[in-house]
A and B are shown apart, each in its own frame.
Chain A
Amino acid sequence: MATLRQEYNQSKIHPQKFALWIAIGAIIMMFAAFTSAYIVRRAAGNWLEFKLPDIFMVNTAVILLSSITIQLSYSGFKSGKEKRYKGMLIATFILGLLFLVLQYKGWEALTELGATFTVNPSSSFIYVISGLHAAHILGGIAALIVALTHAYVLPYKPTLRRKQRFELVVQYWHFVDILWVYLMVFFMIQS
């Protein structure tokens, strides 16, 4: 992303990071719309109740763990521990992929329960919301691939520019993690 930066910047935050925060705000609004649609639709009745398969809990643990690993990688990057930086980044990447695989398994488990995509809006919502979240994870994985390329192709140099770029990835990855935790808590309260 080509960015014009001005030497004189009144705020302390980098414009790209600020822009990412606004984008996160937009994504939050999208999921807020889905979850409030869920509440409104549920209140209208004709709602099939079922228990979310346990695999979704395992998934939550995986994504939480990935947040820890990316944070470790980031602190490793800053403090010059190159090995930890690279290793933990790879771990995050693998955990991210694992999350997607488990998500797919979760949908399979839902289908086995009889809660298929079209049987009732209650299950349709789960597929749509978690599917859209998975799409955002996919975006995060794309960002992780960029970060991995930086880590393995470029020589290790913790410059300000590289730090800022890496921070964007970390910020986004934490966000999709927290978003998932919110969605899980929401589903648990609702069911």
Chain B
Amino acid sequence: MEHVNTVAETLEDKLTHDLGYDDHFHEHHEGDKFQSNFLTKYIFSTDHKMIARQFLITGIFWAFIGAMMSIVFRLQLGFPEADLAWLRPILGKWIVVNEAGIGKLDAEFYYSLVTMHGTILVFFVLTAGLSGTFANLLIPLQIGARDMASPLLNAFSYWFFFLAGVVMFISLFLSTGPFSGGWTAYPPLSALPQASDGSGAGMTMWIVSMSLFVVSSLLGGINYITTILNLRTKGMNMWRMPLPMWALLVTAILGVLSFPVLLSGVLLLMFDRSLGTSFYLSEIVVGGQILDRIGGSPILFQHLFWFLGHPEVYIIILPAMGIVSEVLSVHSRKPIFGYTAMIFSILAIGFLAFIVWAHHMFMSGVNPFISNFFVIFTLIIAVPSAVKVFNWIGTIYGSNFRFNSASLFSVGFVSMFISGGLTGIFLGNSAIDIPLHDTYFVVAHFHIVMGIAAFFGMFAGVYHWFPKMFSRYMNETLGKIHFWGTIIGAYAIFWPMHYTGMAGVPRRYYDGGASFDAFRHFQDLNQFITVAAILVFFLQVLFMVNFFYSIFSGKKLTTKNPWGANTLEWTTPIVTGHGNWPGNIPTVQRWAYDYAKDGEEFIPQYVPLKEGEHDMGAGH
């Protein structure tokens, strides 16, 4: 659908030209001088749009690796008797072939796969791949800036992420295997190199990789905050900003305040591992040998880890929320419902994120009195979350909804967020958490609420802004197949896990709990889950095919503003060069959500208010 005709485009050019202001960017700026050859344009670029694409493609690469790992361990869980010898060309010695010629997944490597799946998906895909991509792409474009506050640090942010990835990737090929003690890296498994195969070189490389990743996140976060607060165009006050900006701002603040704490925790871990200190180690015996480490507390690491770890889940979900808010409003052709409430709920979630970390530690022996405190604040998070869900539904309600890949994935996000959020209320209660902890109920909860939901937000963003990123469309039919298959498949994977979890099936077991008589009858369900997981995996391959095919051969964009959206990124040329706007920077006259107002389908942000018209942004 082409929503902007040529008359409107001429008007738009006139408006952006007359109402923009000249920042002398093109007179004295180096411009494209540094982006002239292949290497500087595509590899060592400092242009935020190129860095966004780098983050996205690297994220997709890691998502593919992480998903393949999950298929391998799902095969083990669903078909423990199956012959996996055909995987030997890829996994080599991690497939142990017995005398009968039956190949089995090495048990130790199963733990490595689970650990790496968690680490890769949480940090490399849903942190760097999601907020790295959309913060880079959208911040300068939506606030009306030429680029980030520091394009160079921005490029460094990507390259530190890249290096972190290289180190983690190499650790996959160690003869002792990558780290296997769980993505949370709890000591003593992470603190004693002799604790397990993966605790040696694998863990060392995990620490190095994560430290590089923290540096990447900090460089990015500092840049995002500075850019949003300092480089907004004329008229773009905070209360007119599109919601992705608010979400990405709070995300960046969370990252800058919580990642350093992880770095501290990991640093102490490193000293425990390599220099003989005992921050996290107390009286401990390994392999019959009494170690001379005394007086440490493994709980201390859990506190430091979850002080990052909990905000981290909001670092993952907030950008998705921002993207979904924008996409739903644009494709509903309606203003976002409750703009001000949306902003304050983002801020409330951001604040609460810091005072609930110990709800991950109800079972670690923390004082039950302290648990009460964390239970209350955890449950309070349901309030701003519910406000957001209510507002998304209010936005769609009664609208002339456009069903396309981007908007469908946004609706899917809301569905997943509700389903996963409800089980969060179970687990947030320490009394209910005691029987449910470390079961598949927890696995189902967090995969739905932050895994699938964040992925849906990311897909919505990719389908919606693909035309901005690559000047082409993705294939809609494939997109819709991708959506319907994935939402049905994802529920088929995780819905049954709630039941097995409530029955007490423990997570992280190589045999999926089959060694217990009580859990043996879940084998059919486990097979069902595995089959669903494999199908969903192939749907993601379909997405990747669509994505890479469309970059080169997708339908070409013929208009600047294909969705008829109000935000500034759609005022830039179809192929957006360095500096984003060829002439003046547009100024902003109104909030971002004037849809279906005064008989107009949409009124972009640069259009001046009519006489007597009020700006609808917050605080008006």
Known: A1-B152, A41-B279. A6 touches B146 (CB 8 A): yes
CB <8 Å contact, A132 and B267: yes
CB <8 Å contact, A11 and B230: yes
Q: Is B233 an interface residue when CB atoms closer than 8 A count as contact?
A: yes
Determine which of B234, B275, B304 lies in contact with A37 in the assembled complex, contact meaning CB atoms within 8 Å. B304
Q: Is A13 an interface residue when CB atoms closer than 8 A count as contact?
A: yes
CB <8 Å contact, A26 and B46: no
Count contacts on B: residues with CB < 8 A to the other chain. 57
Question: In residues 574-606 of chain B, which contact A (Cβ within 8 Å)?
Answer: 585
Known: A2-B151, A8-B233. A117 touches B275 (CB 8 A): yes
Cβ of A20 to closest chain B Cβ, rounded Å: 9
Which B-chain residue is minimally distant from A19 (CB atoms)? B226
Q: Is B213 an interface residue when CB atoms closer than 8 A count as contact?
A: no
In this complex, which of A23, A26, A120 has the most chain B Cβ atoms within 10 angstroms of its Cβ? A26
B57-65, B217-225, B412-420 - interface stretch: B217-225
CB <8 Å contact, A19 and B278: no
Q: Is A58 an interface residue when CB atoms closer than 8 A count as contact?
A: no
| Contact bitstring B274-307, A, C-beta under 8 A = 1, else 0 | 0111110010000000000011110010011001
Known: A40-B303, A128-B267. A9 touches B230 (CB 8 A): yes
A28-36, A95-103, A160-168 - interface stretch: A28-36
Q: Is B153 an interface residue when CB atoms closer than 8 A count as contact?
A: yes
Cβ of A111 to closest chain B Cβ, rounded Å: 14
CB <8 Å contact, A118 and B260: no
Q: Is B614 an interface residue when CB atoms closer than 8 A count as contact?
A: no
CB <8 Å contact, A13 and B295: no
CB <8 Å contact, B146 and A30: no
Which B-chain residue is minimally distant from A31 (CB atoms)? B264
Q: Is A75 an interface residue when CB atoms closer than 8 A count as contact?
A: no
Q: Is A139 an interface residue when CB atoms closer than 8 A count as contact?
A: no
With the chains together, A151 CA to B278 CA distance in Å? Answer: 46
| Contact bitstring A118-151, B, C-beta under 8 A = 1, else 0 | 1011001100100010000000000000000000
Residues of B within 8 A of A8 (CB): 21, 23, 233-234
Q: Which residues of A contact B (CB under 8 A)?
A: 1-4, 6-11, 13, 15-16, 18-19, 22-23, 25-27, 29-34, 37, 40-41, 44-47, 117-118, 120-121, 124-125, 128, 132
Supply 16 A–B pairs (Cβ within 8 Å), ascending by A: A6-B231, A11-B229, A15-B149, A15-B230, A16-B150, A18-B149, A19-B222, A26-B256, A29-B258, A41-B297, A41-B300, A45-B295, A46-B282, A46-B295, A118-B277, A121-B296
Q: Which residues of B contact A (CB under 8 A)?
A: 21-25, 29, 46, 145-153, 218, 221-223, 225-227, 229-234, 237, 256-261, 263-265, 267-268, 271, 275-279, 282, 294-297, 300, 303-304, 307, 585
Known: A4-B145, A18-B230, A29-B260. 15 other contacts (CB 8 A): A4-B146, A6-B233, A11-B230, A13-B230, A15-B149, A19-B153, A22-B226, A22-B256, A30-B264, A37-B300, A37-B303, A117-B276, A118-B277, A125-B279, A128-B277
